[in-house]
Amino acid sequence: MVSSTLSDVARLAGVSYATADRVVNQRSRVSEKAARKVNDAVAQLGYVRNVAAANLSQRRTYRFVFLLPDGPNAFFQKIRGIISARDQDQRNTMLEQIDVPAFNEKALRTQLANLYGQKIDGVAVVGLDVQGLAPELTALRSLGTPVVSLISDLPRDHRNAYIGIDNIAAGRTAARLLGMAHAGQAGRLQVVAGDLTARDHRDRLAGFRQVITADFPTITMPDLIEGRDDSVLIAKAMTISLADNPDLTAIYSIGAGNNGLIQAIRAQSLRPIVALHELVCLSRSALCDGLIHYVIDQRPEEEVDAALALMRALIDNVPPPPIKPILPTIYLRDNLPPLPEQEPPQ
Amino acid sequence: MVSSTLSDVARLAGVSYATADRVVNQRSRVSEKAARKVNDAVAQLGYVRNVAAANLSQRRTYRFVFLLPDGPNAFFQKIRGIISARDQDQRNTMLEQIDVPAFNEKALRTQLANLYGQKIDGVAVVGLDVQGLAPELTALRSLGTPVVSLISDLPRDHRNAYIGIDNIAAGRTAARLLGMAHAGQAGRLQVVAGDLTARDHRDRLAGFRQVITADFPTITMPDLIEGRDDSVLIAKAMTISLADNPDLTAIYSIGAGNNGLIQAIRAQSLRPIVALHELVCLSRSALCDGLIHYVIDQRPEEEVDAALALMRALIDNVPPPPIKPILPTIYLRDNLPPLPEQEPPQ
DNA sequence: GCAATTCTGATATACGTCTATCATTTTGAA
DNA sequence: TTCAAAATGATAGACGTATATCAGAATTGC
């Protein structure tokens, strides 16, 4: 169980420490024979680099950059807060946040290009499902900088990993929750999406429809509202829908702009069952007030932590930590996380 | 942002490295004046010990002991697997598991007493809500060994922290889920508990009743089944209940022994809505088969990780990591975690 | 066989901490 | 004032790794 050192490896391989170092860190040319001996010894001893010692010797600091969509979106504000908090309490890690105009391929390209050649140990980017970013991403990664997509994926060939939820599963989950709340009765269900060109919205909608169609066929759906994540637009459209559909039993909001949705509901007497995404200030209080009923959250803390752990593993060239997939989490008013920072235990 | 070292502290305080070390590590007597100077310097520089360097210098290994109830309980089997996995991939951490007869105060006392005087850096114990363990716990902690209660709490004065879910919230959550699945209609709901002398079962039941009484008054409940977490007992009692209550709309199982519950349901044609606790093999497949509908899980991986992080922080005398409270998590058949180990990304 | 090249070995320094030792200074009590 | 006791300073070695340098060995080409 006692872990072996590179000196142990060198001794077993019958070479000097310097040579073993040259092999494992690919420092300079080494004869094939020596390389083989060293690699065998590594395998035999199960040697793994002591990252703590290595970082100490180098006074290593990690510099990771997050590219996040700008704008007032409460969810991304929350993400920003989480990143800042992690930046605070990690001693050897610097986290930078760069705002990029939302849904803007060209702006994202420009920012990615800016990163090229800078001393960066990893990039986490809220992706766009477009091919146009390929050159910049390839350039970055060819320099050894890992790129992970966060929350919204990039084309899979152009990033090292995706950290985010399965949005089809999220949509299915919403459908099941709302469907079961009908207890077998018929119902009418309004779906509000943001922008169906966005991959995550499309996926959620697809998952949602799968389950409603298959398992709750007595639920009908009026035309989908495409609200562009815009509160004002959504408030208007939702008010009209509530008037047009006095038999409305449920609402599923796929994207952002839920301020408008909640306003529209509050202004009416009808109280449909509501499911929406992301636990933020607004959705939390609406949940407590009984205006909405289910919040499907993607646990942004876990996503940020997973992204950090993964980028570190990739840049350290160490086996990545077990990827526990981020699952959509369901909040009711009864299992909300406590709001204020808790005091330390004891 | 560049973190300062103990040498920096010593220099600023105008004392030698040795003295600074004596102060921060309480190594030997130091004059009050010197101590004050050093502490001021620590505060001024925001010095925090570099745990990685410290551990390296000492070849520090952590030895943590888990005391877990024995028996066939699938949930604790899962916990055991998680602990073993963590033991594997932590290079400087040794995790030991000791089985203790379940719900047995005397056996637990004996095991705790055994630990006294051993070189242990922390104990995580699935607690019992009894006062009788006080002497052993106090003895352990007086030697500087932190004790955290896991999943089931100890009296709060005798442990450093509790890692587990809020069971009242868990019960409330179950009630809300089942209540909403009635869509305002009347219903009849069978509760199955294990042992109401156990704190967690009492708490879940209390939370459950709170919500049903307050928000779903049209749901009635036959007498509670006390199944002692025993499959056979539960299968029998549940079969009787299903026969006696042909209008049964829902079931909430608070504890273990769900094998019997599921058998009883499968044997009948009635298909009530079922909520139960802990995602294990059995509950997972029953969920997929549509025999049960909601699983409330306490994310044992997170609990184990939190316990480890906390014990490390306590023994290192370092500010404990932000405690993210473990929340009851809801699984439907649509948001289940993938079963097999994923292959690493890329 | 000789020179030029490539590979290897030996060793030193640094990272920040802990531990230990020993000499020196300061303190306090007689 | 004297002397033991207490407090402090100075320093060295260890942990495992990265990096650098330089001398010596092995290999290659001609």
A193 CB neighbour count, 10 Å cutoff: 21
Q: What is the pLDDT of residues A12-26, one digit of tens each?
A: 999 999 999 999 998
Residue B314 in 3-state DSSP? helix
User: What span, in angstroms and rounded, lies between the C-alpha atoms of B192 and B256?
Assistant: 10
The residue that minimises its CA distance to C1' of D6 is B29
Q: Nearest nt to A10, CA vs C1'?
A: C9
pLDDT band at B3 (very low <50, low <70, confident <90, very high): confident
B338: closest chain A residue by CA:
A325
Mean pLDDT check: name the lowest of A269-273, A322-326, B81-85: A322-326
**In the block, residue with structure tokens 């809020």:** B166
Say if residues A152 and A164 touch (Cβ distance below 8 Å): yes
Give the distance, in angstroms, between the CA of residue A39 and the centroid of all CA atoms in the same chain: 36
Say if residues A145 and A123 touch (Cβ distance below 8 Å): yes
Q: What are phi and psi of A11, to 5 degrees?
A: -60, -50
User: What span, in angstroms and rounded, lies between the C-alpha atoms of A37 and A9?
Assistant: 9
B29 touches strand D (CB under 7 A): yes
Say if residues A228 and A205 touch (Cβ distance below 8 Å): no
Phi-psi domain of A14 (left: phi exceeds 0; alpha: psi -120 through 50; beta: other): left
pLDDT band at A257 (very low <50, low <70, confident <90, very high): very high
Q: Is A45 part of the contact surface with chain B (CB cutoff 8 Å)?
A: no
Q: How many residues does chain B have?
A: 346
Q: What is the pLDDT of residues A58-111, one digit of tens each?
A: 999 999 999 999 988 999 999 999 999 999 888 889 999 999 998 899 999 999
B210 CB neighbour count, 10 Å cutoff: 15
In the CATH scheme, what is the homologous superfamily, with its name and number, of domain A167-297?
Answer: Response regulator (3.40.50.2300)
Type of residue at A160: N
Task: Give CA separation, A158 vs A153, A154, A190, B282, B313, in Å.
Answer: 10, 7, 36, 39, 38
Give the distance, in angstroms, between the CA of residue A206 and the centroid of all CA atoms in the same chain: 19
B30 touches strand D (CB under 7 A): yes
Among residues A252, A258, A260, A191, the alpha carbon closest in space to that of A226 is found at A191
Query: What is the widest separation between alpha-carbon atoms in chain A?
Result: 83
User: What span, in angstroms and rounded, lies between the C-alpha atoms of B279 and A11?
Assistant: 48
Model pLDDT, residue B256: 93
Q: How many residues does chain A have?
A: 346
Residue A293 in 3-state DSSP? coil
In a mutational test of the A interface, the residue from B334, B341, B343 whose CB has the highest number of chain A CBs within 10 Å is B334
Residues 209-268 of B with CB under 8 A from A: 211
Residue A244 pLDDT exceeds 80? yes
Give chain A's radius of gyration (CA, Å). 25
Q: What is the pLDDT of residues A207-238, one digit of tens each?
A: 999 999 999 999 999 999 999 999 999 999 99
Residue A317 pLDDT exceeds 90? no
State the average pLDDT over residues A239-260: 96
* Domains in chain B: boundaries: 6-48, 60-164+301-326, 167-297
Residue A323 pLDDT exceeds 80? no
pLDDT band at B1 (very low <50, low <70, confident <90, very high): low
Model pLDDT, residue B341: 52
Say if residues A121 and A145 touch (Cβ distance below 8 Å): yes
User: What span, in angstroms and rounded, lies between the C-alpha atoms of B151 and B299?
Assistant: 10
**Partners of residue B190 on adjacent β-strands:** B251
Q: What is the pLDDT of residues B283-311, one digit of tens each?
A: 999 999 999 999 999 999 999 999 999 99
Percentage of residues of chain A with pLDDT beyond 70: 97
Model pLDDT, residue A340: 59
The beta strands (E) that lie in B172-304 are given as 187-193, 219-220, 225-226, 250-253, 273-277, 294-297
Mean pLDDT check: name the lowest of A154-158, A181-185, A317-321, B314-318: A317-321
Type of residue at B251: I
| Token pair listed for B109 | 């006392």
A210 burial level (CB within 10 Å; 0-12, 13-18, 19+): middle
State the average pLDDT over residues B236-243: 97
Inter-chain CB proximity B161 and A293 less than 8 Å:
no
User: What span, in angstroms and rounded, lies between the C-alpha atoms of B51 and A62?
Assistant: 17
Residue B345 pLDDT exceeds 70? no
User: What span, in angstroms and rounded, lies between the C-alpha atoms of A292 and A262?
Assistant: 8
Entry pTM: 0.90
State the average pLDDT over residues B135-141: 95
Task: Give CA separation, A213 vs A175, A241, A255, A328, B335, in Å.
Answer: 10, 21, 21, 21, 18
Among residues B247, B219, B81, B31, the alpha carbon closest in space to that of A322 is found at B81
**In the block, residue with structure tokens 């083989």:** A36
B157 contact residues in A (CB cutoff 8 A)? none
CA of B26 to C1' of D5 (A): 20
pLDDT band at A2 (very low <50, low <70, confident <90, very high): low
The answer to whether the Cα torsion of A95, A99, A105, A107 is positive or negative is negative
User: What span, in angstroms and rounded, lies between the C-alpha atoms of B190 and B203?
Assistant: 17
B35 CB neighbour count, 10 Å cutoff: 18
- Fold assignment, B60-164+301-326: Rossmann fold (3.40.50)
**Rounded-to-10 torsion of CA B39, A346, A299, A297:** -140
| Residues in CB range of B74: below 8 A, 6 or more apart | B256, B278, B280, B281, B282
Residue A345 pLDDT exceeds 60? no
Say if residues B199 and B153 touch (Cβ distance below 8 Å): yes
DSSP category for residue A122: E
B270 CB neighbour count, 10 Å cutoff: 12
Residue B98 in 3-state DSSP? strand
User: What span, in angstroms and rounded, lies between the C-alpha atoms of A246 and B128?
Assistant: 53
**In the block, residue with structure tokens 């180990």:** B341
pLDDT band at B72 (very low <50, low <70, confident <90, very high): confident
Which of the nucleotides in strand D have any atom less than 7 Å away from a protein CB atom?
6-11, 13-21, 27
Model pLDDT, residue B71: 87
A58 touches strand D (CB under 7 A): yes
State the average pLDDT over residues A281-286: 97
State the average pLDDT over residues A326-345: 79
Q: Is B310 part of the contact surface with chain A (CB cutoff 8 Å)?
A: yes
| Token pair listed for B81 | 């697997």
For residue A168, the surrounding DSSP H or E stretch is helix A167-180
User: Do B60-164+301-326 and B167-297 agree at the fold level?
Assistant: yes
Q: What is the pLDDT of residues B97-134, one digit of tens each?
A: 999 998 899 999 999 999 998 989 999 999 998 999 99
State the average pLDDT over residues B170-192: 98
Average pLDDT of chain A, as a whole number: 93
Q: What is the pLDDT of residues A38-52, one digit of tens each?
A: 999 999 999 999 999
Type of residue at A40: D
Residue B226 pLDDT exceeds 60? yes
Model pLDDT, residue B117: 86
Residue B19 pLDDT exceeds 80? yes
| Token pair listed for A40 | 């065998």
